């Protein structure tokens, strides 16, 4: 459980299902929150599942490529002056569009020395991007020197399933692949670990072996999250549904 930001009816239904998994969403944020600062770029904000936990920051700019998600997120955070939601594709341009110059502090619209964000986060998004290296380079360009990027992506190519493809996954990552791409984009890796072994077992059974095309048992899984989180913190598991990386722009 826990993946599906892509477009199409299956992806939209999956995102809607995950919105109801409140404990799981809070745990996901807890796993990516450690390196996030005050001025956060969220890549692939969807309808705001992770954005909702960032509303206490000085500035949050959420971007997505799906108009329906952007509209929903804009409506969701309409009353918050520190949250900006933008329809934008990082693989076409790494710069923040000029029309935001009046909304975002001017250093964030600059070129050359970085965009002024002190951190960026991307949860279950990179696997939906055909050229993920281009996206990573664009994020790198938008971070100020010393800025951090935290990513959570699906792990283990052997878990690739019909459901993965239905929700728009181009890949599932290995640790060496993710490390290689982050370093090729100019990042220095601080942490890289597997997470959520129980979710990986569920994915293997439901989506890989039984070839189901929807998430199963979300309510039950959500109730188990406190125990799953405790297990996950003990030691890095030998396998996991996700990889979590923290990388930094030198």
Contact status, residue 83 vs residue 77, Cβ threshold 8 Å: yes
pLDDT at residue 114 in the model: 53
What is the 8-class DSSP label of residue 97? P
User: How far are the Cα atoms of 14, 17, 137, 138, 144 from residue 114, in angstroms, in the given order?
Assistant: 34, 36, 11, 10, 5
Residues 6+ apart with CB under 8 A from 91: 129, 130, 131, 134, 135, 138
pLDDT at residue 93 in the model: 63
Q: Hunting for tokens 């969701």 — which residue is that?
A: 76
E strand or H helix that includes residue 84: strand 83-87
Angle CA(58)–CA(64)–CA(70) in degrees, nearest 5?
A: 85
Ranges of the chain with pLDDT below 50:
1-2, 4, 99-102, 106-113
Please identify, in words, the CATH class of the domain defined by 8-248.
alpha beta
Instruction: Please tell me the total number of residues recorded for the chain in this structure.
Output: 250
Angle CA(47)–CA(212)–CA(46) in degrees, nearest 5?
A: 10
The Cα–Cα gap between 170 and 129 comes to: 7
pLDDT at residue 213 in the model: 73
pLDDT at residue 217 in the model: 66
pLDDT at residue 112 in the model: 43
User: How far are the Cα atoms of 21, 24, 124, 233, 250 from residue 199, in angstroms, in the given order?
Assistant: 14, 11, 14, 15, 34
What is the 8-class DSSP label of residue 91? T
Domain map of the chain by residue range? 8-248
User: Exposed (0-12), middle (13-18) or buried (19+): which is 113, by Cβ within 10 Å?
Assistant: exposed
Q: Dump pLDDT digits (tens) for 187-241.
A: 999 999 999 999 999 999 998 998 887 766 677 788 889 998 998 988 899 999 9
Centre a 10 Å sphere on the Cβ of residue 101 and count the other Cβ atoms it contains: 12
Contact status, residue 211 vs residue 162, Cβ threshold 8 Å: yes
Cα 121 versus chain centre, distance: 6
Furthest CA-CA distance within the chain: 52
Strand-pair partners of 246: 150, 191
DSSP string, 119-181: EEEEES-GGG-TTHHHHHHHHHHHEEEEEEEEEEEEB-GGG--HHHHHTT----B-HHHHHHH
pLDDT at residue 11 in the model: 56
């Amino acid at each position: 459980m826990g993946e599906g930001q892509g477009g199409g009816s299956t992806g939209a239904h999956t995102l809607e299902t995950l919105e109801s998994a409140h404990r799981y969403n809070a745990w996901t944020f807890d796993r990516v929150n450690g390196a996030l600062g005050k001025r956060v770029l969220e890549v692939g904000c969807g309808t705001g599942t992770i954005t909702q936990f960032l509303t206490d920051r000085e500035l949050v700019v959420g971007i997505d490529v799906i108009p329906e998600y952007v509209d929903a997120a804009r409506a969701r955070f309409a009353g918050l002056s520190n949250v900006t939601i933008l329809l934008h594709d990082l693989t076409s341009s790494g710069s923040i569009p000029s029309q935001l110059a009046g909304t975002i502090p001017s250093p964030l619209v600059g070129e050359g020395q970085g965009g002024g964000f002190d951190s960026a986060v991307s949860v279950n998004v990179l696997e939906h991007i055909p050229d993920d290296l281009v996206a990573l380079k664009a994020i790198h360009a938008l971070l100020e020197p010393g800025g951090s990027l935290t990513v959570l992506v699906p792990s283990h190519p052997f878990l690739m399933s019909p459901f993965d493809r239905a929700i728009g996954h181009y890949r599932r990552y290995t640790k060496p692949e993710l490390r290689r791409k982050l370093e090729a984009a100019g990042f220095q890796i601080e942490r890289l670990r597997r997470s959520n072994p129980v979710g990986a077992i569920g994915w293997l059974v439901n989506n890989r072996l039984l070839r189901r095309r929807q998430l199963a048992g979300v309510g039950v899984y959500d109730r188990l999250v406190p125990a799953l989180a405790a297990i996950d913190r003990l030691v890095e598991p030998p396998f996991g549904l996700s990889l979590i990386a923290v990388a930094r722009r030198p």
